[in-house]
Structure 1
Amino acid sequence: MVPTEESAADTPAPPPPPPHFVIVPLVAQGHTIPMVDLALLLAERGARASLVTTPLNGARLRGVAEQAARAKLPLEIVELPFPTDVDGLPPGIENMDQVTDNGHFVPLFDALRKLAGPLEAYLRAQAPRPSCIVSDWCNPWAAGAARSLGIRRLFFHGPPCFYSLCDLNATDHGLRELAAGAAAADVDDGQERFVVPSMPVHVEVTKATAPGFFNSPGWEAVRGECVEAMRAADGAVVNTFVGLEGQFVSCYEAALGKPVWTLGPLCLRERDADAMSSRGADGGQQHSAVAAWLDSKETGSVVFVSFGSLARKLPKQLFEVGHGLEDSGRPFLWVVKLAEASPPEVREWLGALEARAAGRGLVVRGWAPQLAILSHRAVGGFVTHCGWNSLLESVAHGVPVVTWPHFADQFLNERLAVDVLGVGVPIGVTAPVMVFDDESVVVARGDVARAVSALMGEGKEAGERRRRAREYGEKAHGAMEKGGSSYENLTQLIESFGQVEARKG
């Protein structure tokens, strides 16, 4: 039967395609993991998500792709060919955690810039064009492709709004130049304190701990590109929630002059125990052994110790950490990277430590299922490098922290945890170290023992920290549930770009 004009007019128009978000994380585990969670959240809520990375990093995300396929989620991993002709970058390095020399970081960023062309080619091949690009703050090269194709772009910034507001205010008010001028005039011994302007709370920093990624000599061009791309974006996506730092979210949005979408804690997207155990790596037997050990411990009795994917400690500092944990008298679960544990003297020393602390201490060599550990009832404290993922994961599970910042945003993250939220005990470091420690011992065993004892103790201050941590944990879960601030923000984000698609149609 041939449809008449009247019957054809009665046929409803097909619905517009769902909005398509292209996610472009920095090639570093601490940046990739939350953006993977973002991509999965978008897909679970009906949007299409494409996660753009390189072949080696794509192989690491095979489990994510398989998970999405099993759940029939509209998520794909897009692999762009990694440049091979970059001076100073050894072959095979495609992720920050593969770097073994501080001199390789700038060449790696030079290589990443060359992904701009392949990214634009991918975007041009999409019909219809993607609705939105969400690119890491550290990937300014994605901005040009968005601009040339007229695609709206949001930047994803890993740290909390507290840090980002400090950084933006320091940039806008010349704090970095002020600190540099003090140093040039020989009136700064490295510990002169400067007040961060226009903050809703009093924040002091030194030249060494002033806010800003890429502050070191040689990184000026990269930082300039990142700030320029930030200012050109249509808004920001931040892994935080209003119940944790609402005043800083609103102040940051006002200072930035564009929307700030707070969608976290993104780590709470995953409630399944098996998925938590393998998040970021292949969990398997490692998780089973850790879980069995934790199951044997009393509730809230274990201190968990881990310093993220980048910071590496040489033997002298490792030994101080181990002795301090032993001297604290508390049950401990300590993650030591394979590269740290590989020297013969370290292997021997760790074996002796485990023998002395048998039953009370567990050393995990290599990767550990951090999210599953922090959510275990036996864990009552976390010694952390203050990377925002780790701090937020701890807060989300109601676990107070010992703060041991190393570089970048971590010193200001410490100030947020200790001074604002009241959930942290500082270990006492005052100056950053590069990714690869030098031979000096920054923190002595006595400092480790003191901080762990304070964190895990029974006094009034320790009890108040635990109470605050539990309260923020409850707020974190509420933010991600239907009706919560982060859940509703994600709804509005998807709807706003869905309306863009409808207008295009």
Structure 2
Amino acid sequence: MEISTNFLSKSKPQIPHFLILPWLASGHLIPATDIAHLLAEHNASVTILTTPVNAARIKPTIDRFNAASAGDISLVSLNFPATEFGLPEGCENIDLLPSFPLVYNFYNTTKLFGQQVARYIHEQVPHVSCIIGGMGYVWVPDMARKLGVPCFIFHGFGSFALYCWEILHKTKAHEIPDSDAELFNIPGLPFEFKIARKELPMHFQQSSKEIAEEMRNSEVSVDGILVNSFEQLEPGYAGLLQKNSGKKVFTIGPVSLCNTTRLDMEERGNKSTVDSDQCIEWLNSKKSNSVVYVCFGSTGNFAPKQFKELGLGLLASPWPSVWVINSIEKLPDEMLIWLRENFEEKSSSKILLIKGWAPQIAILSHPSVGGFVTHCGWNSTLESVAAGVPIVAWPLYSEQFLNVKLIVDVLKIGVSVGVGEAMAWRGENEEDARVKKEDVVRAIEKLMNGDEERRRVSELKEKAKLALEKGGSSFLNLENLIQFGAPTI
């Protein structure tokens, strides 16, 4: 167990002290670390409590911040009892799970982890004034009540998706009696939004009903909701969410903009598996707005047929690209041979392969990058907006189909690749390719030759910066959050 010496110190009880418990997935851990950074910049004391594997991923970033700014962020790690629930040793993050069925083992392990957290907090006699809990930690609200402090939940989703989520919970519009493929309209929106049940997050699928109910019961007992977004990106939806949920809602993003040094950009969330200097040198050799960045998040993997169609589409496209491939060790040998023969040996000047963790915001921020083929996870969406890069929307699962509606039809900052339904988690048991080579080429061509999407996202980029500057909407919401979580004297 690693404990920072200034954790829960009694010396400064008058300063707001936020305890952040990030959900154990990269898409939650990374923005939670950025939130800690922003709170500390606003003169709050912050502790992040997580597991050893996850703490190791974010420790360099926290150490740099504390050293550079005399910041007050502490990092604590407690043992994660993975093997007690049939998980491999060290399986402490969703992106380390070998297969989807183990998600349920992982979820149950987090409950035992919560018991350790509660004991540790009790033993330390903490001066915590506010808790920010990850979406899967159903035990956090009860712990906050026992401490007598307010509790916020951080889902990692945007205001629009969370509002749709809230409406579905209340109206049950998705509970269609017949076909999973039947479209239904999400009510309560200023436009028609028809979606299939199979495109909804797992919380609305029958197979996840028990966990979904448990998580929902936890959600309704929190005091507020933190959203990594800004008012100008999703105007009105934070207000609708607050009105319909009855919870305080604070939009405080884009939190990724707190990373301003090259090293923080390159090592955000994990150490890059590519030589950063070589990557930047490769990008420097390309024309402005000419490169397509292709990445599907930490768990966005494809089955071989779909993987090959994507690769063929990138080869056939006239635009150079950076292609990030996660979990490459899970690809069959014939795919590895195909990759080597068609990309590493023939196309090194046109396509840069990154096998593993990529320095995403550093790449997106480079002037040569002009488009982003993405799964539309909310972190990637916001990072693209903050960099002024338009999107080719290729949703896989979770709330990503909700995000596509916002990106393509509402904000008009991207084009759709044409996916018709959600993919199995990590492409498990997927036989056919849902998106063909021609679809990839068409979508990239439309985006890279278009002006409207680029103009719109460039305007949002400027608004994103202003939101976090003094007097901006996110800046003021951070100040209000700190006041809300200030200790009662």
TM-score when scaled to structure 2? 0.93
Q: In the TM superposition, what are the counterparts of 1:210-359 in structure 2 within 5 Å?
A: 210=200, 212-283=201-272, 286-339=275-328, 343-354=332-343, 355-359=345-349
User: Post-superposition shift, 1:176?
Assistant: 2.6
Q: In the TM superposition, what are the counterparts of 1:344-423 in structure 2 within 5 Å?
A: 344-354=333-343, 355-423=345-413
Aligned to 2:437: 445
Aligned residue identity for 1:149 = L
Q: Summarize deviations over 1:216-243 as a string: whole Å, max 9, x none.
A: 4442222112111111111110000001
8 Å Cα contact 1:113-1:141 kept in structure 2? yes
Structure 1: 5+ residue stretches without partners: 1-13
Aligned to 1:6: none
User: Post-superposition shift, 1:88?
Assistant: 3.5
Q: How many Å separate the matches in 1 of 2:221 and 2:327? A: 41
Aligned to 1:7: none
Aligned residue identity for 2:440 = V
- Return the match for 2:484 from 485, 496, 500: 496
1:134 is aligned to 2:132: yes
- Return the match for 1:169 from 167, 170, 175: 167
Q: How many Å separate the matches in 2 of 1:258 and 1:441? A: 42
- Aligned residue for 1:243, secondary structure, equals coil
Q: 1:340 to 1:307 in 2, by over 3 A?
A: farther
1:473 is aligned to 2:470: no
User: Post-superposition shift, 1:341?
Assistant: 7.0
- Return the match for 2:46 from 41, 45, 49: 49
- Aligned residue for 1:297, secondary structure, equals coil
Aligned to 1:28: 25
Q: In the TM superposition, what are the counterparts of 1:137-152 in structure 2 within 5 Å?
A: 137-152=135-150
Q: How many Å separate the matches in 2 of 1:15 and 1:283? A: 37
- Aligned residue for 2:220, secondary structure, equals helix
User: Post-superposition shift, 1:255?
Assistant: 0.7
Q: How many Å separate the matches in 2 of 1:61 and 1:124? A: 25
Aligned to 1:3: none
8 Å Cα contact 1:115-1:141 kept in structure 2? no
Q: Summarize deviations over 1:60-79 as a string: whole Å, max 9, x none.
A: 22213322441321111111
1:61 is aligned to 2:58: yes
8 Å Cα contact 1:137-1:157 kept in structure 2? yes
Q: In the TM superposition, what are the counterparts of 1:418-433 in structure 2 within 5 Å?
A: 418-433=408-423
Of residues 388-397 and 215-224 in structure 1, the stretch that sits farther from structure 2 once superposed is 215-224
Q: How many Å separate the matches in 2 of 1:455 and 1:466? A: 8
Aligned to 1:98: 96
Aligned residue identity for 1:264 = G
Q: Summarize deviations over 1:294-318 as a string: whole Å, max 9, x none.
A: 0011100001000100121122222
Structure 2: 5+ residue stretches without partners: 1-10
Q: 1:220 to 1:198 in 2, by over 3 A?
A: same
User: Post-superposition shift, 1:214?
Assistant: 2.9
Aligned residue identity for 2:335 = V
Q: How many Å separate the matches in 1 of 2:37 and 2:164? A: 30
8 Å Cα contact 2:299-2:326 kept in structure 1? no
Q: How many Å separate the matches in 2 of 1:445 and 1:213? A: 28
User: Post-superposition shift, 1:439?
Assistant: 2.6
Q: Summarize deviations over 1:106-130 as a string: whole Å, max 9, x none.
A: 0000000112222222322444531
User: Post-superposition shift, 1:422?
Assistant: 0.1
Q: How many Å separate the matches in 1 of 2:83 and 2:342? A: 45
Q: Summarize deviations over 1:362-398 as a string: whole Å, max 9, x none.
A: 1111111100000000000000001000011001111
User: Post-superposition shift, 1:340?
Assistant: 5.3
Aligned to 1:199: 189
Aligned residue identity for 1:430 = G
- Aligned residue for 1:176, secondary structure, equals coil
Q: 1:70 to 1:284 in 2, by over 3 A?
A: farther
Aligned residue identity for 2:443 = A
User: Post-superposition shift, 1:104?
Assistant: 0.8
Q: How many Å separate the matches in 2 of 1:143 and 1:99? A: 26
Q: How many Å separate the matches in 2 of 1:316 and 1:161? A: 35
Q: How many Å separate the matches in 1 of 2:454 and 2:82? A: 50
Q: Summarize deviations over 1:313-357 as a string: whole Å, max 9, x none.
A: 122222111110111111111111243575332222122222433
Aligned residue identity for 1:351 = R
8 Å Cα contact 1:119-1:142 kept in structure 2? no
Aligned to 1:455: 447
Aligned residue identity for 1:408 = S
8 Å Cα contact 1:314-1:340 kept in structure 2? no
Aligned to 1:8: none
Pairs aligned (count)? 475
Q: 1:117 to 1:463 in 2, by over 3 A?
A: same
Q: How many Å separate the matches in 2 of 1:60 and 1:153? A: 25
- Aligned residue for 1:246, secondary structure, equals coil
User: Post-superposition shift, 1:245?
Assistant: 0.5
Q: 1:18 to 1:331 in 2, by over 3 A?
A: same
Q: How many Å separate the matches in 1 of 2:378 and 2:137? A: 18
Aligned residue identity for 1:478 = L
Q: 1:332 to 1:17 in 2, by over 3 A?
A: same
Of residues 41-50 and 20-29 in structure 1, the stretch that sits farther from structure 2 once superposed is 41-50
8 Å Cα contact 2:114-2:137 kept in structure 1? no
Identity %: 37
Q: Summarize deviations over 1:415-447 as a string: whole Å, max 9, x none.
A: 110011001111111111122212321211011
8 Å Cα contact 1:86-1:107 kept in structure 2? no
User: Post-superposition shift, 1:37?
Assistant: 0.3
Q: State the Cα RMSD in Å.
A: 1.8
- Aligned residue for 2:84, secondary structure, equals coil
- Aligned residue for 2:305, secondary structure, equals helix
Q: Which runs of 4+ in 1 moved over 6 A?
A: none
8 Å Cα contact 1:424-1:465 kept in structure 2? yes
Aligned to 2:107: 109
